[in-house]
Chains A and B, each alone.
Chain A
């Protein structure tokens, strides 16, 4: 019986237990979801190009914001990181594969089914056959309980499936890191990408079950008469927000910690200097993860928490700036007096450091409870989290893809096109999101299909930026097809990048099917 590369393509795709096959599947899935979620975002931006209602009715608009958020968070960013972990962690720790290979296949294949359920609801809605979820990606009760459309129940079970996938994927990553490291690779010798993913996996296992719990309460409130989120029965709709954000805040770090790992790999490689402050990076990551469990109510400053609560969450949130600042300074110090070159991965990494820091600063502004009363649920919040998620997480994923693509396929990508992709993305992402700071501070609320005339100019600019950003990503798709399918580009060396360090660069490009059959010895 043949296996791996000798198997027919279809059979290999469905039955593979190989970490590279599954990593690639995760990444392709994430890219498709990124385009689908991006399409929904363009519907939003098209509607918001001018005040008044032009293209869609408000209910459909709400479905677009909901599905855009859900698909980007759970379908694009998270699977992309899991895909990178799948591909890179065994290579980086010197293992033959992931620790639990069949479980790995299961974790992946749950995702297309789970998103199939969500996208089916979206298609039904496009065809006018019933509403898709329309309560925002945070699905606050009672919008999602008393007033949720029929598709809400399908959404609930789809979230359960995503949870199973994430938990199993995270268990696999943790076990691989703890149990499969090559001899001599002590914890403090691990690449930072592995460290950040170890901590991310811990966060996933800790909070995805809480998400499962809260959607279960939603389900029983909807259909079995329980009163978790119903004050008439002694419950509290605010309880929903507490449980949701107890999941939700660690969740946003799940979407940024692996980025820190990626950037910490790329900047030293192109600055040709070792990473500044390795140990402090590890401790900073762990501190951020620890604090992430103590800050959830900063999403709820306006729901009427007791004053002491607001103050506690305000101070805890501000504390996060300390370890995050450590990281940013370490990256800058790594570049200081380095002999830098600016290939595409490095460009994306530097853009990440700058734009993520902007997102961090606006986060600090939002952390101030008394001022947040003004910004809460405005476009300022939208600007903030898109700076950390798009020009943060998504940029780091693109940096990672350009950085490791030659190792994956054995060929260099088209550097010229990639640079065009970078500059177009960089400019358009700022045209898209920077004006949202202004309209947010001026008081435009988020999640509305219409707005007052005074916000029109900045909204038009943002919409133009949105379409430009969307189109720029087609260049990205083309660079990948050009490299992976058409196999253009020269053959990559084993080392690929002059300054790159780590076990993955000791293997041939592309890396062999079973990464390290005999473990390398790390000194």
Chain B
């Protein structure tokens, strides 16, 4: 392998960032227009035609732009244009990006803690909420999970020891298989690498499948839905965004699998794999936290 370049590589120019911003805008406008038809309330009277055209265009556009943009960076990596310093930039960039994702989840966890420990007890008359309780919903009883809302909606809680526990085992196992795959990559053991990576992917997809099963169970049997009060809101938003991130992580790992099969990643040049692995571990940690505070406690 040739020597690493010492100069910092600055790409001359690139059309992809601007075009990515453009398709992001199409997605945003499309999504805003699309959700308006979904409301079923009197807020808006938009039939969503524009949204259902723009949103798919935008999403396909984003995927296409990501492909084209990443293709450039892959070429640079394969042509050995990246200095060690550049590699550090990529690593730091990914870590700070993951930190921003952590803070995104923190907003939803914060909302969960607030309603659970403050808002719901106050509605039930605790502490500051005595008058609120008396005047608004004197019959309301504070509880968590909130199975009967002040407004009278009812639901059943999702227990932790069925599918959620199986899913915990699956995700934790997948973190181990992914780490074994990484060790195999460093030691140049190709068969072991591919085997472990495929195992990780299978575990991830089974997790997603079971998550869908759980949602169906929630909707059809428990009456646990997005509009079943704050318990349903926090439950579905937290697990839903987590599931979305598992999907993104699985896509990243699939791309890594394809790149490994094409021989892109070597034992000393595989930042992309590590970035995807970090992301996967992050998603795993979020799940553990979520299992404890959403399902168990």
Contact = CB atoms under 8 A, between A and B. Distances in A.
B36 A17 contact: no
A232 to B, nearest CB: 3
A219 interface: yes
A306 B114 CA distance: 14
Interface centre among A154, A171, A227, A239 (most CB of B within 10 A): A227
A106 interface: yes
Interface in A189-217: 205-210, 212-214, 216-217
B231 A209 contact: no
A342 interface: no
A348 to B, nearest CB: 33
Contact of A100 (B89, B123, B136): B89
Interface in A153-211: 153-154, 156-158, 160-161, 164, 167, 170-172, 174-175, 178-180, 205-210
B11 interface: yes
Contacts of B24: 110, 113, 161, 164
Q: Is the interface of A mostly helix, strand, loop or mixed?
A: helix
Interface centre among B12, B46, B231 (most CB of A within 10 A): B12
A1 interface: yes
Interface residues of B, number: 73
Nearest to A213: B107
A273 interface: no
A138 interface: no
Contacts of A160: 28
A160 B99 CA distance: 17
Given A226-B237, A234-B115, A306-B128, A15 B103 contact: no
How extensive is the interface on chain A, given as a class? 35 or more
A124 interface: no
Given A233-B233, A234-B231, A17 B104 contact: no
B104 A210 contact: yes
A117 B8 CA distance: 37
B198 interface: no
Contacts of A443: none
Contact of B14 (A102, A146, A212, A213): A102
Q: Is the interface of B mostly helix, strand, loop or mixed?
A: helix
Contact of B28 (A17, A158, A172): A158
B101 A209 contact: yes
B293 interface: no
Interface in A94-149: 95-97, 99-103, 105-106, 109-110, 113-114, 116-117, 146, 148
B79 interface: no
A146 B114 CA distance: 21
Contacts of B225: 225
Interface in A211-250: 212-214, 216-217, 219-220, 222-228, 231-236, 238-239, 242-243, 246
Interface in A11-30: 11-12, 14-18
Contacts of A305: 128
Interface in B127-179: 127-128, 136, 146, 149-151, 153
B226 A220 contact: yes
A224 B232 CA distance: 11
A154 B93 contact: no
Contact of B12 (A17, A109, A212, A228): A17
Q: List 6 tightest A-B contacts by C-beta distance, closest first.
A: A225-B227, A213-B107, A232-B151, A106-B17, A234-B230, A157-B28
29 contacts: A3-B13, A11-B13, A12-B13, A97-B10, A100-B90, A110-B25, A113-B21, A114-B25, A114-B28, A117-B25, A146-B43, A156-B32, A180-B8, A205-B100, A208-B100, A209-B104, A210-B107, A217-B107, A220-B233, A223-B36, A226-B230, A227-B229, A231-B119, A231-B123, A232-B149, A232-B150, A234-B150, A246-B107, A517-B7
Given A117-B28, A161-B28, A227-B149, 13 more contacts: A16-B13, A17-B12, A97-B10, A117-B29, A157-B32, A174-B96, A206-B100, A210-B107, A213-B111, A224-B38, A228-B115, A235-B233, A243-B110
